[in-house]
Structure 1
Amino acid sequence: MASIHANPDFNAEELAQGLRKAMKGFGTNEKKIIEILTSCNNEQRQVLKKQFKTMYGRDLIDDLKSELGGNFEDAVIAFMMPPDEYDAHCLRHAMKGAGTDEKVIAEVLAMRSNDQIAAIREAYHRVYDRDLEKDVMSETSGHLKRIFVSLLQGNRDESEDVDEDRAQADAQALYDAGEAKWGTDESEFMTSGIGQLRAVAEKYHTLVRAVEKEMSGDLEFAFKAVLLSAVDQPAFYAERLYKSMKGMGTDDETLIRCVVSRAETDMEQIKSQFVDKYGKKLVKMIKDDTGGDYERFLVAIVGE
């Protein structure tokens, strides 16, 4: 269940007027901006951007950037992007410059449907005039590269069809596999269909723990992402959100990405998993680790 929904009384002209008033003149009414932007879903926010430009001849994103700052600005701009463009942005950012953030690549590619993958590839080419698959291939290597390129094909079996005999055989093979074999033979298995992966996980009840035990680093993360994409996506995001705020400092990029990307899909389930797993409400941890308008905006998205 989503935490952000379509507004049945959506009025783009009225909301555009409200945003203009909140940003015009001396001072900015951040509370009003938060209230308006979180009152409608992403599709409606795209209409709102066009309406704002029609009425005032101004770019809403540029105006928001000029009025806001810091993590609050980053979160608002992310929230205002169409999902495919935001995912493309996250992938480009993960590969641009020195070093590559393989965890971000794994998170985005593993958790998206075939149709979403196709849309992301198109958006990446449209916005950056680059080929996503070529960039991923140039920035990764080994088993990670194999998994990412396979996911990029957007050709996963999304049906619930299960071959029980194969599921049992795969579970046994995984049980028998030693550390040296994990990540080689299993690379092909981990890009199996959604229903098949879930069936294997049911037969091999400690599969996630086995991945954690036998792997490490980015490869472990990628395997868990692919596995949990079939078995339990909210659990994956609950862990991502917890780790983004645990300890000294906050990984604001991960916090923003997870909140924004799941607001209209399964945020309510993520919140439930968060409490079950960590004994603390997600919104409470956000309040403890952030502040100001940034905190208020994230809380408005996540919901109490």
Structure 2
Amino acid sequence: MAHHDEHQALSKAFSGLGVDESAFISILGKWQHEHKHTFRKSSPHLFQPDERQFERWDQDEIARLRHEVLRFKSAIVMWTMHPWERDARLFKEALAKGPEGNSLIIELACTRSSEELLGARRAYHSLFDHSVEEDVASLVVGQDRKLLVALVSSYRYEGPRLNDEIAKSEAKVIHDAIKVADKKAIVQDEEVVRILSTRSKVHLNAVFRHYKELFGKHLDEDLHEHLSLKVAVQCFVRSEIYFSEALNAALNKGADEFTQEALTRVVITQAHINMAEIKAEYHNKFGIHLSQEIEHSVLGNFKDFLLALVDRQN
């Protein structure tokens, strides 16, 4: 392979999510000193000329490449980790991100069963010597705090019992809150927070069904300006929509690091739960199979591992 072709192949080998380990081994392993020198000279996006007359790695590129090398290992660790510990560590990561992490807190609180959420809260105690409730209350700032504290503190009834008339009346309560409240205050409406944080998912399904029948729209469609409430609603009853959109954002070129991490998180946490529904929604919404998009956008062992989980038969 000519030097120019090798350099292009190497640039491609670490230009996506993950790295193409086989390309590194087949090309770099046979290089002599002059090959490396030529590569540094011809790769200004990776190396900077130093005043002392040598080419040095760009520090940001070193950090990025190291992170991409670690993606596969991190995915393996997350896959083998006890789900309670995994979710506790994800809560901690979300809290460290500030307001950007609020959607992840909601995702964890609203897509887990009561026992799974309780287990994550127990693991959080053990790992961090705090409760997740108190950390959410002290670290989340702004109007989302009341909702997020209520969601992470919840222990919902999970049986089939349902009072359909109450569900219908609560659909009207939510609609009235959206219609008359100041837009910034809806997420702090006590009745809205009570309904979303205490009702069973069977009950909430009925609330959202009645909302659609009464007002002609899915509730999450009426909440497009209220992100935290929209995320909560989708995670409760239309999680395949939420997860497919999170995956699409993670696979987009130019996505920031936190957004990209959803690729690992969603595939690993949903692989044996509702991956079939997520894949169907992804294809319906974006016109391409999820596995095809991963094949196109992800590299190396990380790609192979994700595809094994996405295509596994549960």
TM-score (norm 1): 0.69
Tell me if structure 1 keeps the 8 A contact 2:114–2:154.
yes
Q: How far apart, CA to CA, are the structure 2 residues paired with 1:290 and 1:249?
A: 13
Tell whether 2:200 aligns with 1:193.
Answer: yes
Q: How far apart, CA to CA, are the structure 1 residues paired with 2:100 and 2:230?
A: 19
Q: CA deviation at 1:258?
A: 0.6
Q: How far apart, CA to CA, are the structure 2 residues paired with 1:292 and 1:229?
A: 31
1:211 aligned residue:
223
State which of 249, 255, 261 in structure 1 corresponds to 2:269.
261
Relative contact order higher in (CA < 8 Å, ≥ 6 apart): 1
Tell me: CA distance 1:135–1:235, structure 2 relative to 1, closer, same or farther (3 Å).
Answer: same
Amino acid in the other structure paired with 1:178: V
Q: CA deviation at 1:152?
A: 2.4
Amino acid in the other structure paired with 1:106: I
- SS in structure 1 opposite 2:144? helix
Q: How far apart, CA to CA, are the structure 2 residues paired with 1:136 and 1:160?
A: 30
- Specify every segment of 5 or more residues in structure 2 that has no aligned partner in the other structure, as ranges: 1-24, 26-67
Select between 148-157 and 105-114 the one with higher mean Cα deviation.
Answer: 148-157
- Give the alignment of 1:1-304 within 5 angstroms: 69-96=69-96, 101-176=101-176, 177-180=179-182, 182-183=186-187, 184=189, 185-191=191-197, 192-205=199-212, 206=217, 207-212=219-224, 215-216=225-226, 220=227, 222-249=228-255, 251-303=259-311
Tell me if structure 2 keeps the 8 A contact 1:72–1:294.
yes
Q: CA deviation at 1:202?
A: 0.9
- Specify every segment of 5 or more residues in structure 1 that has no aligned partner in the other structure, as ranges: 1-26, 28-67
Tell me if structure 1 keeps the 8 A contact 2:249–2:255.
no
User: What is the alpha-carbon root mean square deviation over aligned residues?
Assistant: 2.5
Q: CA deviation at 1:298?
A: 0.8
Amino acid in the other structure paired with 2:278: I
2:40 aligned residue:
none
Show CA shifts across 1:88-139 (max 9, x none).
1111112237766111111111111110111101111222233221111111
1:37 aligned residue:
none
User: Identity of paired residues, percent?
Assistant: 24
Q: How far apart, CA to CA, are the structure 2 residues paired with 1:80 and 1:228?
A: 27
- SS in structure 2 opposite 1:162? coil
- SS in structure 2 opposite 1:101? helix
Tell me: CA distance 1:227–1:98, structure 2 relative to 1, closer, same or farther (3 Å).
Answer: closer
Q: How far apart, CA to CA, are the structure 1 residues paired with 2:100 and 2:311?
A: 33
Q: How far apart, CA to CA, are the structure 1 residues paired with 2:206 and 2:222?
A: 16
Q: How far apart, CA to CA, are the structure 2 residues paired with 1:173 and 1:96?
A: 34
Amino acid in the other structure paired with 1:227: V
Q: CA deviation at 1:231?
A: 1.8
Larger Rg: 2
Tell me: CA distance 1:208–1:290, structure 2 relative to 1, closer, same or farther (3 Å).
Answer: same
Q: How far apart, CA to CA, are the structure 2 residues paired with 1:69 and 1:105?
A: 27
Tell me: CA distance 1:277–1:114, structure 2 relative to 1, closer, same or farther (3 Å).
Answer: same
Tell me: CA distance 1:99–1:164, structure 2 relative to 1, closer, same or farther (3 Å).
Answer: closer
Select between 86-95 and 184-193 the one with higher mean Cα deviation.
Answer: 184-193
Tell me: CA distance 1:144–1:152, structure 2 relative to 1, closer, same or farther (3 Å).
Answer: same
- SS in structure 2 opposite 1:105? helix
Q: How far apart, CA to CA, are the structure 2 residues paired with 1:84 and 1:115?
A: 10
Show CA shifts across 1:32-53 (max 9, x none).
xxxxxxxxxxxxxxxxxxxxxx
Tell me: CA distance 1:104–1:74, structure 2 relative to 1, closer, same or farther (3 Å).
Answer: same
